[in-house]
Amino acid sequence: MALIFDIKRFAINDGPGIRTTLFMKGCPLRCVWCHNPEGFTEKPVKMYTKKKCIGCQSCVEVCPEKNLVLTPDGIKDLGHCIACGCCTDECPTLALEMAGKEWKLDDLMAVVEKERQVMEESGGGVTMCGGEPLMHADYLCEVLDELGKRAIHRTVDTTLFASAETVSRVAERCELFLVDLKLMDSEKHRRYTRVPNEQILANIRMLSEMGKRFWIRIPLIVGVNADDENLNASAEFLASLPTKPDVVNLLVYHDVGKGKHARLGTEYNPDTLAMKAPSEELQQHALSIMQKHGLSAKIGG
């Protein structure tokens, strides 16, 4: 069973209408700008928010591994956490939280059903996100099948870094894909995400040839992919597809992941020091490149 590390209700940027977004743990990519680093691994991870900590030491006392100690800088992890969750269960201020929980299908559907009215009235539904949901194809398909039985619109937010067989299997069970397109140059893609992009591009083309509906999402990051060479290459590739994306969302870079890395006790990749958000002028320039290639595009979404 896959782990869910977050459930976002009333989501308005994860597909059409108002949606419930389910975040699955585990991702084969390591994008240096990722704003959900708690979703990297397939296992639960502990997160610590120092400003919430009152120094009560409840977590220190309850930890079966004696892994925690209170220091002048807050609670310190000694490095042998087994992610049992005892400390997070005892923390009275939620300074310690566990990201990642097993959900039985019935329990997950009970959460989704609470939002049925607002989803139906807005033309929304459920979006499966991550991490990378395609890492857990069996569980993902089980969830999508159940949503289909309940006549709930299904969207999968994915990098498409998976086998063609997996992508085809999931495509049979959803109405829409939200697909990340980060970089066209495969070596640069590997540098910033840890994986090459040939498989991703092939799967985008396959979805297009299948006639599946999909949106493309390009994170617009100065110092990584906001240059004319990459933007033109991206637009040319998308314009060449037999079925074009419904829309290309140009997503302005932000560094919210930095705070999450601090809570995880991990390092925000040094490569991000050269990264920054694009100016309004550059955003409009990127938009014009997409539109000149006959693509529907917008900033954000």
222, 253 contact by CB (below 8 A):
yes
Please name the residues in contact with 14: beta carbons below 8 A apart, sequence gap of 6 or more: 8, 21, 127, 129, 155, 157, 178
* Residue from 176, 175, 101, 103 nearest 139 by CA: 103
Mean pLDDT, the chain, integer: 95
Cα three-residue angle 295-298-301, rounded to 5 degrees = 125
Q: Where are the beta strands (DSSP E) in 187-295?
A: 214-220, 248-252
Q: Report pLDDT digits (tens) over 206-257.
A: 999 999 999 999 999 999 999 999 999 999 999 999 999 999 999 999 888 8
* Residue from 2, 3, 1 nearest 101 by CA: 3
| Phi, psi at 222, each rounded to 5° | -65, 130
pLDDT category at 269 given cuts 50, 70, 90 is: confident
* Residue from 47, 10, 26, 2 nearest 159 by CA: 26
- Please, is 242 exposed, middle or buried when counting C-beta atoms within 10 Å of its C-beta (0-12, 13-18, 19+)? exposed
Q: Report pLDDT digits (tens) over 118-176.
A: 999 999 999 999 999 999 999 999 999 999 999 999 999 999 999 999 999 999 999 99
- Please tell me the predicted confidence (pLDDT) of residue 271: 64
- Please tell me the predicted confidence (pLDDT) of residue 212: 97
Domains and CATH numbers, the chain: 3-42+101-299 (3.20.20.70), 47-99 (3.30.70.20)
pLDDT category at 258 given cuts 50, 70, 90 is: confident
- Please tell me the predicted confidence (pLDDT) of residue 255: 86
Tell me the pTM: 0.93
- Please tell me the predicted confidence (pLDDT) of residue 270: 67
- Please tell me the predicted confidence (pLDDT) of residue 218: 98
Q: Report pLDDT digits (tens) over 29-74.
A: 999 999 999 999 999 999 999 999 999 999 999 999 999 999 999 9
Q: Report pLDDT digits (tens) over 169-199.
A: 999 999 999 999 999 999 999 999 999 999 9
Q: How far is CA 268 from CA 6, 23, 26, 42, 264, in A?
A: 21, 21, 18, 19, 10
